[in-house]
Amino acid sequence: MAKSGSVKEEFFSCGKRRAVAARKIEGSNPSLRSMKYKFTSKDGYDFGWPGLKARAYSDKEDFARASIAVFEAEKHGKVLTKTSDRIYYIIDGSGTFEIDGNKIHVEKTDAIIVPKNTPYDYWADKGKKLNLFLVHTPSFDEKGEVK
């Protein structure tokens, strides 16, 4: 039998507090209970321009705090966003990101963070394509794009 204040008693007490806290968190935001958690390719829509093909998996209507897309790009084009930070994961290929005047070579499994209000561009190495996974946080908003 464990004495009062023992490590064993503290462990169980702590576990109960965590369980109570978790229940409070689960019930604290009703909008998250109806939120869609999984997005597939068929949920999204295609977009792009010369040198870039993309598929948005989600947008601000799905979740205001983040949106996701995948890209197949030869080139992107210089842009600055006033509304969201961007996180790129290089799925395949190699190329260059130019962020605020700094050229950064990227390749498969690299990740790039572009803070909002920072001009940037990217392009694939000659004769190649970059396959990218992108997270906007908060969600993409076309009104915040400056080209």
The 10s digit of each residue's pLDDT in 48-59 is 999 999 999 998
Residue recorded with tokens 């001009």: 119
Q: What is the pLDDT of residue 147?
A: 82
Residues 6 or more apart whose CB falls under 8 angstroms from that of 83 comprise: 116, 138, 140, 141, 143, 144
Q: What is the pLDDT of residue 41?
A: 83
Q: How many residues does the chain have?
A: 147
**pLDDT (tens digit, 9 = 90+) per residue, 3-20?**
455 444 444 444 444 444
Q: What is the pLDDT of residue 11?
A: 43
More confident residue, 91 or 146: 91
Question: What pTM did the predictor assign?
Answer: 0.76
- Distances in whole angstroms, Cα of residue 50 to Cα of each of 38, 64, 74, 107, 140: 30, 28, 9, 22, 20
Q: What is the pLDDT of residue 32?
A: 56
Residue 109 CA to residue 125 CA, distance in Å, equals 16
Q: Which CATH class is domain 41-146?
A: mainly beta
